[in-house]
Copies of this chain bind each other. A is one copy, B any other.
C-alpha cells in the first residue's frame, strides 16, 4: 500500500493541498465552505489518509511529542528495572500525554549529553527529566527552547519547571514517627548520598528528627548504597556485621525495604519485632510486602499528571515563567513498625 499524502487527498477531492491542510487542521483563520469540507473529509477517509507528523512538525515547528528522560540509576542496569517508582511514574506520564494527543519519546541515559541532543534532534515540544542532579551540563539544556520539567530534582534554575516533594520534611516525619514509637537507635538506609540529591535531603530530615529528640547522630547507623532490592539485602547483612545496634530503620525507598526484609529473614531477624521499618515512596509494592510497609506516601500518578500538565500549559501559553510544584506527603501506617518500650 503506497503511502498516501496530502496531495493524493487533494486530487481525489478536486481541491488544492492547501485546502486539505486547512480542513484537516481546522485552521481557524481560514474559512472553508462546508461543502468543500465534506468532500475533503470524504476523500481522506476513502484513501485512508494519515498525516505525516514528521513533515508537519518540520514545517510547523510543533511535534506533539514529549521527551521523557529517565536516568539509569545504575549504569548497565536497564532503566526502570531496579525501582518500580519509575514504572509507575512513566505510566502516568504516558497516560496523560496520550489523553492530550501527545506521544512520548522515551529514553534512558547514561550521560546527559544525550538529553540535549535527543530533544533538539526530534524537535520535542517539551521534556520531562526525572532526577537530575544540579551541576551537570545544564547550560546545554537551557539552550533548548522547549519547556523542561525537572521531576524530583533539586536543581534551582528559573529556566526549568520543577515538580517535587518535601523530601526533607518527609524523612523527618518518618524518623520522628519511629522515635514516637519508642525507638532511639534508628538506622538510615538509602541510595548514594550525592550532594543536592534527593537522598541527601532525606538524610537531613532524618538528622532533623534525631536532633529534635536529642538523639546523637551515630555514623555507624548510616547505610548508603544503591536504590535497589539487592542493596536492601546487603544492608541487612551489613547490619549484622555492625552488631545489630539499631531497633529501627528509616529507609529511603520501598524497594530497598523489600530487600532489607528479605535479608533480615535470611538471618532470622523478624520485622518488625527485631527491626522496625519506615520507608519512602509508597510504591504499590509497599502493600504487597510482608509485613506491609509503613511508609511515606507520595502521589506518584499525580506527579506524572502534573509534569505533563506543566508542559502543556507552557506550550499553549508560550509563557516562560517557571513553575515550582511541591506535592504533599503523608505517613501511611502499615505493619512494619512495632511500638517499643513504654516511653511512647
Give the B-binding residues of A (Cβ under 8 A). 1, 3, 48, 50-55, 57-58, 63, 68, 78-81, 84, 86-88, 90-92, 94-95, 98, 103-108, 116-118, 120-123, 143, 145, 229, 258-259, 261-262, 265, 284-285, 287-290, 301
Q: Are B104 and A107 in contact (CB under 8 A)?
A: yes
Q: What would 16 A/B residue contacts be, using CB atoms closer than 8 Å?
A: A1-B143, A1-B145, A3-B120, A50-B117, A51-B121, A52-B120, A54-B122, A78-B301, A87-B90, A94-B107, A103-B105, A103-B107, A106-B106, A258-B288, A289-B290, A290-B290
A97 to B53, CA, bound (A): 22
Residues of B within 8 A of A285 (CB): 285, 288
A interface SS class: helix
Given A87-B84, A106-B103, A288-B285: A78 and B92 within 8 A (CB)?
A: yes
Residues of B within 8 A of A116 (CB): 50
Residues of B within 8 A of A145 (CB): 1
Closest residue of B by beta carbon distance from A258:
B288
Which of the residues B104, B259, B287 comes within 8 Å of A106, measured between beta carbons?
A: B104
Residue of A52, A87, A88, A145 most packed against chain B (CB within 10 A):
A87
Residues of B within 8 A of A259 (CB): 288
Q: Are B117 and A107 in contact (CB under 8 A)?
A: no
Residues of B within 8 A of A55 (CB): 58
**Least Cβ–Cβ distance between A112 and chain B, in angstroms:** 14
Q: Are B90 and A98 in contact (CB under 8 A)?
A: no
Q: Are B229 and A288 in contact (CB under 8 A)?
A: yes
Q: Are A98 and B103 in contact (CB under 8 A)?
A: no
A91 to B87, CA, bound (A): 9
**Least Cβ–Cβ distance between A228 and chain B, in angstroms:** 9
Residues of B within 8 A of A98 (CB): 107-108
Closest residue of B by beta carbon distance from A305:
B78
**Least Cβ–Cβ distance between A231 and chain B, in angstroms:** 13
